[in-house]
Amino acid sequence: MGNEFPTLQHVYDQLHILELADILIERPSQYARRVEEISTVFKNLHHLLNSLRPHQARATLIHILELQIERRKQAVEDIKRRREEARRLLNESLATLDGQ
């Protein structure tokens, strides 16, 4: 969906430009009204995009936090693995000392 929006918007813009050119040639008296209508459409689109910003920010924050959680889980697993390795080495050292 994210990749479709610029393409759809581009087509929408081109259609309006062609329509404006047609109106300018065929019905110049309607040009100002049509420009105002298109301006209103763009203002509405701008408002809609701005209203999505909090949702986008929330989704971005969730993604960042999920990555942090995953990294911390990996760090905990690494610490556990190193702790077990240290215990194993300590037990081997103690066994070696007991055997001497």
pLDDT tens-place string over residues 29-63: 877 887 787 788 788 888 888 888 999 999 999 99
The vertex-30 CA angle with 27 and 31, nearest 5°, equals 95
56 vs 99, residue with greater confidence: 56
- Three-state SS letters, 56-85: HHHHHHHHHHHHHHHHHHHHHHHHHHHHHH
* pLDDT surpassing 50 at residue 1: no
The vertex-49 CA angle with 42 and 38, nearest 5°, equals 5
Name the domain count of the chain.
Answer: 1
Rg (CA), the chain: 32
What domain range is 31 assigned to?
A: 4-99
